[in-house]
Amino acid sequence: MIGECRKKPGVHRQLDKLRLFDSSMLFGRAFEPQICSARIVTAPSDSLPTDLAAAHAMILAQREMLAEARSEAKVWALEIERLKLLLAKARQEKFGQSSERGKHLIEQLELAIADLEEAQAEEETKVEIAAPEKQREKRERTGIKPARRPFPDNLPRERIVYPAPCTCGKCGGVDLRKLGEAVTESLECEPRRWKVIEHVREKFSCRDCEGITEPPAPSHPIARGRAGPSLLAMILASKFLLHQPLNRQSETYAREGIQIDVSTLASWVGASVVTLDPILDAIRRHVFAAERLHVDDTTVPVLAKLKTVTGRIWTYVRDDRPFGGKGPAAALFYYSRSRAGEYPRTHLAGWTGIMQADAFAGFNELYEARRKPAPIIEAACWSHGRRKFFDLAKLTKAPIACEAVRRIDELFEIERSINGCTPDERLAVRQEKSKPLVLALEAWLCEQRDRVSSKSEIAKAINYSLSRWPAFTRFLNDGRICLSNNAAERAVRGVAIGRVNWTFAGSDAGGRRAAAVYTLIETCLCRARHKHVYAARRTMPSGSGRKLSFARTNGVPRGQRLSSIRHSLASYSASRKASRRSFG
C-alpha cells in the first residue's frame, strides 16, 4: 500500500477484495483502482492461478466486482445530481424569481411606474402653470386628448350649475340664447362617515285599560349587539378578505374618533359567524349537489402551548361555468387539525361524482370500488404534472423537460378555445384535437423514461404522470372535466396571503370560524369573477419571455422609460396570469 491512507477504516477490506490478482496485468494501465489517491499493487508473494479454469473464474469474479463498483458509482452520481437540484431549488426559492414570488417583481415595477408618472405629472403641471395658453394651444393643435376611463353609471351625480354670463364676452350684447351645456366630470370621495341610527319605538297608553302599547323591537344581526349589518360586514371583510387583524382595525377606528376595543370586535366576529350558519348550510348543500368538485388544501399555523401546530384549510369548489353550466359558482371551506385522510372522507361522506385534485394519498380511499354509496371518479390536474417538468426546465434547461412543457401547453391551448362550451362540444373537440396529442405524449414519455435513469429527477417527473395516466386522460371522455385544478388553488390563495398578516390562528375554534367566513367571502368572489379566461399567451420556459431588469436610464426620456417599464409589467403580469388561469 503506497500513500498515507492505509490506516483509514475500510481500506484493508477493499484491499482484500482486489488482491485476487494484479489488475494492471489483466486489464492494462487503463484500469487501476485507487483509494484516496493510493494505488493498489500486489505483493510479490501473491500467487496467480496456474490453470485456465481458475484464471477464468478469477476474471469473472473481477468483472462482477467491477460492475458492482460501477453501479455504486452511478448511484452516487445520481444522488449528487439530486442534491444539486435540491440546492438549486432552495436557492431559487430564496433568491430567484418564482411563481409565488413573482408578485414582488410586479410590485416593484408598479412602484417604478407610479414614481415616473408622478414626476411626469409634476413637470407637466409646472409647464401648465408657467404658460397655460401655450399648453392649451399645443393640445388643440395636436388634437391629443388623454384617454380616460368613464366613471361608473351607478355612482350618484351631484350637479353644480355655474351662473351664466349676462352679456356677450366679445361684443357686450345682452340677447343670449342657450345652446347646450359643457359638462366636466370630476371624481370625489367623502371620508368614511360614521353615524348612529336611533331606532325609535313610540309608546302609547290605552285610555280604556291604562295598558301600554309599543311596536316590537327591531331585529338586529347579532343578539344584544350595537353594531349594524354594514359595520359587521366591514369588520369581517377587513379581517378575512383584506387580512387586517382586529387590533389594527381597532387602531384605525380610533384614529377616526371611534373607540372600539379589540375584545368588542372579537365578540362581534364570533356572534356574526353563528348568525351566518343558515347561509353556510345553504352553500354546503349547493356545493355538494354538484356533479364535479375542485378540491385542495393549504396550511394554517394554529397556536398551541408554547408553539404552533400546522392545521389545514380544505376547500371544495363548485364551478360549472367552464362547461356551460347554469349553477352558480360557490366555495366551501373546512378546518382540520392535521392533513389526515379521514377529514376529506368525512367531508365527502355521501357525495359521489368527479373530483379534481392533486395526488394526495389521503384521497385514495375515496376512489376505491368498495366505497359507499359509490366510488368518486378521480380527475388529475395537468398543471401539477406540468409544474414538475417546468421546474426542471427552468433550473436545469433539460431538453426533455422543455419538450414536455411544450407538448402539455398544446393541450392547454386547445382548452382555451372551448372554455364555456357545452360538454358535448368540448368532448368533440377533445376527441378530434387533444386525443392524438395525448397519445403521442404518452408514447414519447414512455420512450424517454427508458432512456434516462430511473432515479433521476426527470424520471420522477415522468413517472408522476404515467403512474396516474388514466386519471390524467379522463378528460378525453367527459366534457365536464377540466384540464387543471386551478379553481381550487385560486380559492385557497386568500388564506395563503392572509398568513403573512395574521401569522396564526388562535385556536381550533378560530380555524373553524375562519373557514366559515372564507366560505362566504370566496363564494361571493366566485360569483363576481369574470367567467372568461385571460387571453394573454403563456411565457414559455425556453427563454422566450422578456427579461426584466432595471438598467441605468441616464439620458433616456422619462416617457420612454415609463412606456418600457409599463410594457415589461404588462408582459410579465400577463404571463403569470396565463400560467395560473383556470381552464375550468
**What's the average model confidence in pLDDT over 228-256?**
91
CA–CA separation, 232 and 570 (whole Å): 37
pLDDT of residue 351: 94
Higher pLDDT pick, 487 / 132: 487
**Whole-angstrom distance between the N-terminal and C-terminal Cα of the chain?**
69
pLDDT score at 39: 40
Is a pLDDT exceeding 80 seen at residue 516? yes
Residue 532 half-sphere exposure, CB side, CA atoms within 13 Å? 4
φ and ψ of 293, to 5 deg: -130, 145
- Region 224-247 average pLDDT: 89
Give the Cα separation of 233 and 504 in Å (integer). Answer: 22
Assign 359 to helix, strand or coil: coil
pLDDT of amino acid 551: 36
Across the strands, what pairs with 377? Answer: 354
Closest CA to 222 of 168, 276, 174, 297: 276
What are 349's three cell numbers? 361522506
**Across 178-182, 436-440, 490-494, least confident range:** 178-182
Grid coordinates belonging to 79: 444522488
Report the pLDDT value the prediction gives residue 287, as an integer from 0 to 100.
95
CB atoms within 10 A of CB 167: 11
Report the pLDDT value the prediction gives residue 48, as an integer from 0 to 100. Answer: 72
Say which residue the cell 489517491 belongs to.
Answer: 37
- What gap in Å lies between CA 497 and CA 242, rounded to an integer? 9
152-200 residue pLDDT tens: 888 888 998 888 888 888 888 888 888 888 888 888 888 888 999 888 9
Percentage of the chain modeled with pLDDT above 70: 71
Q: What is the dihedral of CA 357, 361, 297, 512, to 10 degrees?
A: 130
Q: Residue 484's pLDDT is what?
A: 92
Question: Do residues 240 and 517 lie in contact, with contact meaning Cβ atoms separated by under 8 Å?
Answer: yes
Look at 12 and 468; give whichever has higher pLDDT. 468
Is-contact 582 482, C-beta < 8 A?
A: yes
Listed in sequence order, the DSSP H helices in 228-315 are: 229-240, 246-255, 262-275, 277-287
Q: Give ∠ CA 53-54-59 in degrees, rounded to 5.
A: 95
Predicted model pTM: 0.67
pLDDT at 67 over 50: yes
Residue 55 main-chain phi, psi, to 5 deg = -65, -40
> pLDDT at residue 417 above 50?
yes
The grid coordinates listed for 214 are: 309599543
Residue 292 CA: distances (Å) to CA of 288, 289, 522: 9, 9, 18
CB-based burial label for 341 (10 Å; 0-12, 13-18, 19+): middle
- Cβ partners under 8 Å of residue 303, min gap 6: 504, 505, 506, 507
Going by C-alpha positions, the residue among 208, 241, 316, 248 that lies closest to residue 495 is 241
- pLDDT for res 556: 47
For residues 29-55, b (16+ Cβ closer than 10 Å) or e, as one string?
eeeebebeebebebeeeeeeeeeeeee
Burial (CB < 10 A; 0-12, 13-18, 19+), residue 261, is: exposed
CB contact at 8 A, 581 and 538: no
Look at residues 498, 227, 486 and name the one whose alpha carbon lies nearest to residue 382. 486
CA angle 251, 255, 256 (to 5 degrees): 120
User: What does the pLDDT read at residue 38?
Assistant: 38
CA quadruple 94, 98, 103, 108: dihedral sign = positive
| All three cell numbers of 122 | 409634476
Cα distance between residue 333 and residue 280, in whole Å: 10
Q: Which residues pair with 294 in a beta bridge?
A: 317, 356
In whole angstroms, how far apart are CA 84 and each of 71, 457, 547?
Answer: 20, 11, 25
- Look over the chain and give the mean of its residue pLDDT values, rounded to a whole number: 78
41: pLDDT strictly greater than 50: no
Check residue 165 and give its pLDDT: 84
> Average of pLDDT values for 399-416?
93
User: How confident is residue 469, by pLDDT bands cut at 50, 70 and 90?
Assistant: very high
- 127 versus 7: the higher-pLDDT residue is 127
Task: Report, as an integer, the average pLDDT of 495-524.
Answer: 85
- Residue 423 pLDDT: 93
User: pLDDT value at position 259?
Assistant: 92
For the chain, the structural domain boundaries read 11-44+51-87, 230-275, 278-381+485-528, 382-484+534-548+574-580
Given a cut of 60, whether residue 339 has pLDDT beyond it is yes
- State pLDDT tens for residues 97-155: 544 445 556 666 666 666 666 677 777 777 767 776 666 666 666 655 556 778 888 88
